[in-house]
Every structure is written in structure tokens, then in C-alpha cells.
Chain A
Amino acid sequence: NAGVTQTPKFRVLKTGQSMTLLCAQDMNHEYMYWYRQDPGMGLRLIHYSVGEGTTAKGEVPDGYNVSRLKKQNFLLGLESAAPSQTSVYFCASGRLSYEQYFGPGTRLTVT
């Protein structure tokens, strides 16, 4: 099992560019989550999904969109990147909300 994988690992964007972060899990988990973590801070929930075809807003959803077309994949999109979105992005999945398995993270820099 690969667990939770994230693509890409690093990315540099210019302000206004768009991109999609891919999260994939092979554990057949229902729940999937996208978080961002800024330096010295805890994780903040962006969006989450409780099953294929469902999505919901988290704590900091503005500027992001998500899709869960397949159970194993959860995509996070930035339509027009801003410097404030420079962060490390973590994806997680789980059968139960309190026991989440995290991916290795994507380091995104927006210049």
C-alpha cells in the first residue's frame, strides 16, 4: 500500500496562475481532507469530502475549489494563485474522522 500520495511535491507559481494538486489514497477511505500549514502554525482545514461526489467547506475555503469524482482521489484547485496561498498543503484520508492518514505534503510558493 502506498497510503496517501500527493502530486506534485513542490511547485512555484506566479500570481494569477492556476494549478491543481492531486491527492490519491489506496486504503478505500470514505473521508478525505485538504489542509494548509503556514510556518509555525497548526493545520487549517480548507475543504473536505465524506464520500465520492461530495465536498464541503472547511475553515479557510476561499480561493480554493475541490472535486471528488473518484473515491480514491481528491483534487484541490487554485484558480488564481495569490502570495497569501504560499504554504504547505497536506491531504489526509480516513475511515473515521479522528484517525486520519496524512500525505507527505506539497510545498507551494506563489511569487
Chain B
Amino acid sequence: LAKTTQPISMDSYEGQEVNITCSHNNIATNDYITWYQQFPSQGPRFIIQGYKTKVTNEVASLFIPADRKSSTLSLPRVSLSDTAVYYCLVEGGGNKLTFGTGTQLKVEL
């Protein structure tokens, strides 16, 4: 399984764009990159998933460079309600996901 490295914490203010970068140097050819969000006392929630280039949905964008050794989750115009832990995972078409410790995002006024 590819190991991921992401910042332990990030701070931002309401209305700003937040970019969380994840490193996965050992990503395999058939690995996908997936991001989850977790609020306190709740289970994680799927945000976005991609293989290469750029993926966008109503919540976030995911940027993946050509070498796929890193990825960036972009959250546009964050609000207080985006304060959460964000997990970057790589999954190789198998049956399991490996969650790291994630990035604690704190959004302030």
C-alpha cells in the first residue's frame, strides 16, 4: 500500500481558498487518490476521488500532477463549517483503504 504524507494541521479564515497537499511517492499504476472529511464524533465522509489531472465536484477540486506522486485538495471559499480533519488515501483497486492521521483544518472568522 502506498504511504501518504500530509500536514498535521492548517489554519485558514472564512472566505479563503484552502489547498491541502498530500505526498504519495510510492503510488502504484492502479492506485486511485481519495479524500475524506471527518467532523468530530462522526464517521468520515467521502469528498472526492481521482486518478490523474483535475477532478471537480460541488464540494472540492482535486489536482494530480502527471507523475502522480502528490495531490492537492482545494476547498474554495471555506467557512467555519469546513473545520474538520481531512484524510488523503490511495487505493489500488483492492478492498481496503488505509487512513493516516489526516490534516486538521481550522477555519476562523
Contact = CB atoms under 8 A, between A and B. Distances in A.
A56 to B, nearest CB: 7
B28 to A, nearest CB: 14
Most chain B Cβ neighbours within 10 Å, of A58, A92, A98, A99: A98
Contacts of B98: 45, 59
Contact of A97 (B44, B45, B91): B91
Main secondary structure of the interface of B (DSSP, over half): loop
Interface string A68-111: 00000000000000000000001010000111111111000000
A21 interface: no
Contact of B97 (A50, A56, A98, A101): A98
A98 B95 contact: no
Interface residues of B, number: 22
B97 A100 contact: yes
Contact of A45 (B32, B42, B45, B96): B96
B13 interface: no
B95 A48 contact: yes
